[in-house]
Structure 1
Amino acid sequence: MAYESVTVDIADHVARVTLIGPGKGNAMGPAFWAEMPDVFGTLDADPEVRAIVLTGSGRNFSYGLDLVTMGASLPGLDSGAKGRLDFHKMIAKMQGAISAVADCRTPTIAAIQGWCIGGGVDLISAVDIRYASADAKFSVREVKLAIVADVGSLARLPLILSDGHLRELALTGKDIDAARAEKIGLVNDVYADADATLAAAHETAAEIAANPPLTVHGVKDVLDQQRIGRVSESLRYVAAWNSAFLPSKDLGEAVTAMFQKRPPQFTGE
C-alpha cells in the first residue's frame, strides 16, 4: 500500500502505520485527511492484521494541522452561506478521517514521541491504547489559534480524561509533558525513549494478536458501543458551531501572528 502521508508495514499479524507528513513534524495536510479512511479501512478488512501500531517518523509524532497547506481552506469573514456549507462539508470529511481510526474493529496502539499537538491529540484520542516516550509533549492547541477543536478531541477526550483536566487543556492550550499526561490518564505508560515506546507498543500488539480475533473484535465492539452515540452527537454539534462562528478577526490575527512569529492580539471579534 503506497500513501503520501503514511507508510504501512505488516508482519506477524501486526501493522505499523507511520506518519510521514509530508509537512514538517508529520503535519496533517490534504493527503492525511484524504488517505486515513482508506488506510484504516483496508487494514480493518485484512484478516491477517490483528493489531495496529500508530507512530510518527522522526523526532515528533505530529505537529497537527498543516496550516501551510490547509490555511486557505479556512473561511473568511465574508463567507456566505455557500462558503460556510462547503466548510461544514470539509469539517465532516476531516472528522471522518479520525473516526476511521476510532471505528476500526482492529485494536490500535499509539507510540508517541516528541510533540503531539492539536490534530495529533485528535488522532491519539481515537486509538485504544496510548504509550509515550519521556520526551513527549502534548497540547490541545486550537484555542490559541481562535479555533474550537472540531475533529475529535472535544468529543473523545471526555471519555479519557476527567472533566477538569480536559477543560484545563482545552481552555488554556497549554503544553504538558509525558509525566503529566500519564498522571491525568492521557497515556497509559511512559518509556525512556522513542525506541522503547515503539517496542512496548509492538509487544502489546503482539499480545492482542495472539488472542482469538473474533473475540477481540467483540470486546472492541461492546466497548465502542458505549461511546458511539455520544461522540457522533458531539462531532455534529461542533461542525455546525464552527461553520457558523469560526470566521473571525481573531482567527485571522492568530494565523497572521503565527506566521510572523509574534504574540497575537485578540479582540473578541
Structure 2
Amino acid sequence: MDAGYKSLRIEKADGVAELVLLGPGRGNAMGPDFWREMPEAIRALDADDSVRVVLVRGNGDHFTYGLDLMGMMESLGPLLTGDNNLALERSRLLKLIGEMQQSTEGLARSRKPYIAAVHGWCIGGGMDLIAACDFRYCARDAKFSLREVKVGIVADLGALQRLPRIIGEGHTRELAYTGIDVDAERALRMGLVNEVFPSAEEMLTQARATARRIAENPPLVVQGAKQVMDYCADKSTADGLRYVAVWNSAFLQSHDLTEAFAAFAERRTARFQGR
C-alpha cells in the first residue's frame, strides 16, 4: 500500500503498519512531497480498521535529515525574500506552516498508537515527528538534533510543545537553544527513547515485536488508553479520573471484553476483533 506516494512507503501485516520515510532527498529529507503526503497517509491509516498500531522508521542509513531546505525553496523562497515581503506573504507563510504542522499534529491526534524506530540521524523535523509518536526506540548509532536554531528558525512543528512533557523543560531548552547533537545513550538518560539497541536490525526486530504485542490487544481499549492519557496530559488527577470513569462507563461493554473473559476461562489466547 503506497497510494502512489513519493516520500513514503506503507507496509501492512497482522494489524501493524510500517510507515517508512523515503525522502526522496538525501537522508530521507522532508521536502514538498513529504509535507503533502504525510497528512494524507495518517488519515488513511487512521481510517483503516485493519491497522491497530503504526511503526515509523527511515529507509536506508538514517531516520531523516529533517527539512529539505533546498527542496522547499520553491515554496518558501518567495515568502522569505523580496521587496514586497509584506502582509500577503506573511499570511501565505502562516498558512504554509499550518499545513506542514498537520504532518505531526495529525500523527499525535491519531486514534492509533505510533512507535518511532530511529537509526542514524534524526534532525530538525525528525525530532518534531518522533515527539508526536507515543514512544521511541533507537539503535546505538542514532543521533538526535533539534537543529533549527542553526539555520535561523524557531522549531515550529511541535517539538517545543511536546518534548518538555517527554524529556523536561531543561533538556528541551538546551537542545532548542544550542542545536547540539545528542547520542543514543544520552537520549536514553534524558528519557527521549525507551530503549537503545546495539544495531538498527536488532532495534527494528524489537520494535516490530512490540508493535505486534500492541496489535494483539483489544484495539478500542488501546485507543481508549491513548485518548485518556492525551486528555490527562494538562489536567488534574481528579479531572483525569472522572474522564476515564466516563470513558469506561460508555465503552467497557464490548465483544472483546466477553472474549477476554472466555479466553481466560478456557485457558487460550484471546482473539480480539475491535468490537
What's the TM-score bracket when you normalise by the shorter of the two chains?
Answer: 0.7 to 0.9
Q: Find out whether 1:93 has 2:95 as its counterpart.
A: no
Structure 2 counterpart SS, 1:154: helix
Equivalent-residue separation in structure 2 for 1:97 and 1:71 (angstroms): 19
Equivalent-residue separation in structure 1 for 2:191 and 2:4 (angstroms): 34
Q: Look up the match of 1:161.
A: 167
Q: Look up the match of 1:241.
A: none
> Quick one: higher RCO (CA 8 Å, sep 6+), 1 or 2?
1
In the alignment, residue 112 of structure 1 is paired with which amino acid? V
Q: 1:109 aligns with which of 112, 115, 127?
A: 115
Give the structure-1-normalised TM-score.
0.83
Structural RMSD (CA): 1.3
Displaced runs of 4+ in structure 1, greater than 6 A? none
TM-superposed deviation, 1:76: 2.2
In the alignment, residue 76 of structure 1 is paired with which amino acid? T
Which string of whole-angstrom CA distances, capped at 9 and with x for unpartnered residues, describes residues 122-157 of structure 1?
A: 100000010000000000000011110001111111
Equivalent-residue separation in structure 2 for 1:177 and 1:98 (angstroms): 23
Equivalent-residue separation in structure 1 for 2:182 and 2:17 (angstroms): 29
Which string of whole-angstrom CA distances, capped at 9 and with x for unpartnered residues, describes residues 59-86 of structure 1?
A: 0000000001113404126411000000
TM-superposed deviation, 1:227: 4.4
Identity %: 51
Structure 2 counterpart SS, 1:41: helix
Q: Find out whether 1:196 has 2:198 as its counterpart.
A: no
Q: Look up the match of 2:221.
A: 215
Give 5+ residue unaligned stretches, structure 1: 230-269
Between 1:181-190 and 1:71-80, the stretch displaced more is 71-80
TM-superposed deviation, 1:37: 1.2
Which string of whole-angstrom CA distances, capped at 9 and with x for unpartnered residues, describes residues 23-67 of structure 1?
A: 100000011111111111111111111111100000000000000
- Give aligned pairs, total: 229
Equivalent-residue separation in structure 2 for 1:221 and 1:80 (angstroms): 41
Structure 2 vs 1, CA of residues 144 and 214 (structure 1 numbering), >3 Å: closer, same or farther?
A: same
In the alignment, residue 146 of structure 1 is paired with which amino acid? G
Equivalent-residue separation in structure 2 for 1:38 and 1:83 (angstroms): 26
Equivalent-residue separation in structure 1 for 2:185 and 2:53 (angstroms): 26
